[in-house]
Amino acid sequence: MSDKQFTLPRGIRDIEPDEMAKRNWVYERIREMFRRYAFQEMEPATLEELRTLEAKSGPAIKDEIYWFNDKAGRSIGLRFDLTVGMARMVAGRSDLPEPIKLACIGGNWRYDEPQFGRYRYFTQWDAEIFGSDDPTADAEAVALSMDILSNVGLKEFEVRISNRKVIQGFVESLGLKSQEKIEAVFRTVDKSRKISAEAVKTELRSAGLESNVIDSLVEFISIQDKPASVLEKISEVQTRSEEAKLGYTQLVLLADALQGLGKLDRCLFDMSVVRGIGYYDGIVFEAFDKGGEEVGAVLGGGRYDRLCGVYGKRSIPATGVAGGIERLLISLEKADVLPKHKEVGTVFVAAVNDEVRQHTLSIAAKLRDARIPSDVDVKRKSLAKQLEYANSLGIPYALIVGPQELKSGQFKLRDMKKRTEETLTLDEIITRISRMPSE
């Protein structure tokens, strides 16, 4: 039987140990910030009834996700993000005091075409605040996002913020009333970072916009600068519609809150930010790793005040943020900030012959009781083969056990990298290794 016979489905992969060690490090740093911002971690269901997913995204979602009919004939979909499940849960729970601050790190499935950094199974972190329509909540989501990026070691990132209400109000004031056309505008604007100004104009022309409308819009979405400066430049938008005025006021309050949180200096207001996802209806933002823009935003978020209403009796305003772990790892690899350590043990307890094997086990047990990650031969290898194995895994120390050592109570501790040896008692070895800084 060939090794190749059992392949994985397209776009699906194992997470191998080296990557997993990095992921666990990243997850723990993200969780640290969830805790510090007082978000409660949970995990929404992995499987949803298809209609729950369709209720948010329309029947077209079927083409983009994994779904199937189960043995009882019910249509079931694999979750494609974490926000929908959280919103569905919150909408069904009127007992929770608001705001409800939930966070999750979890896997999702999409039947997309796999590409660089994108898989059909991928992991996201997600933090949401349900029950507040105040821009302070959006500011908290932005601040959390920035502290997460800092905490995983990204130094060069920028956060770009806007408000869909402002763009919507602006566009409406140009005479565009059909929500369908406005959605098309949003989709084009969302791409404007990746395509040329000419391509943007061409798309807007195809969407049926007149050229003076296109010129005004292209000029408007090119506004990006420090928040105070953008608020000044777009101040005129307040006179255009109630929607735009509300959006503008929200941005003013957001800037105040970000100032309070000490985060305003690292933020830009950028009128071209609208986010691709349809359910956003207010403040939106995304963060980019400087120099890593080609892999796209490392996180994105925004306000979706109408989504919970789809799932329950109550209308619950909500805002939040999510980021993809796979993309984040690409940025972190590039920035070379991920830890190099492997979970392979600190000490390999090696036996010089078969007679002392039981003693290597007792010594490994003592080291483990002293919280020192330890490994031991389980293949009855020769001493040379044991050391070769320890070396190939990158285990930093070998403790060598022979009849002489057991008699004297003095063991050789070999530094596998430096290729030096010291003779020490077991207690001395434990003290020595416990005092070493772990990476």
Q: In the range 234-293, which residues lie near a second copy by CB under 8 A?
A: 256-257, 259-263
In the structure encoding, which two tokens stand for residue 227, read together?
């928040």
Binding positions for a second copy, 58-77, rule CB under 8 A: 66-72, 74, 76
Structure tokens belonging to residue 97 = 């005091």
**CA dist., res. 377 & res. 399, Å (int):** 12
In the window 355-384, what residues touch a second copy (CB under 8 A)? 357-362, 364-365, 368, 371-380
Q: Which DSSP symbol is given to 356?
A: G
Instruction: Give the span between the Cα atoms of 170 and 62, in whole angstroms.
Output: 33
Residue 3 touches a second copy, criterion: CB under 8 A: yes
Q: Is 112 in the site for a second copy (CB under 8 A)?
A: no
CB of 138 to a second copy, least distance (A): 9
Q: How far is the CB of 99 from a second copy (least distance, A)?
A: 6
Looking only at residues 335 through 354 of this chain, which bind a second copy when binding is defined by CB under 8 A? 342-345
* Binding of a second copy by 49 (CB under 8 A): yes
Number of residues lying near a second copy (CB under 8 A): 113
> By C-alpha distance, which of 373, 377, 347 is closest to 361?
377
Nearer to a second copy, 200 or 267 (CB): 267
Q: Taking CB under 8 A as the rule, does residue 31 contact a second copy?
A: yes
The interface region with a second copy, picked from 81-89, 166-174, 233-241, 294-302 by CB under 8 A, is: 81-89
Shortest approach of a second copy to residue 361 CB, angstroms?
3
Q: How far is CA 84 from CA 43, 137, 201, 344, in A?
A: 11, 19, 33, 38
- SS3 category, 6: coil
Q: Which residues in 175-234 contact a second copy (CB under 8 A)?
A: none
Nearest-angstrom CA–CA distance, 17 and 252:
46
**Residue 304 is encoded by which pair of tokens?**
């979706």
Tell me whether residue 178 or residue 438 sits nearer to a second copy (CB atom): 438
Q: Give first-to-last CA distance, the chain, whole Å.
A: 42
Q: Is 223:234 a contact under the CB 8 Å cutoff?
A: yes
Mapped onto helix, strand or coil, the DSSP state of residue 94 is coil
- Which span (16-24, 218-226, 268-276, 328-336) binds a second copy, by CB under 8 A? 16-24
Assess 128 for contact with a second copy (CB under 8 A).
no
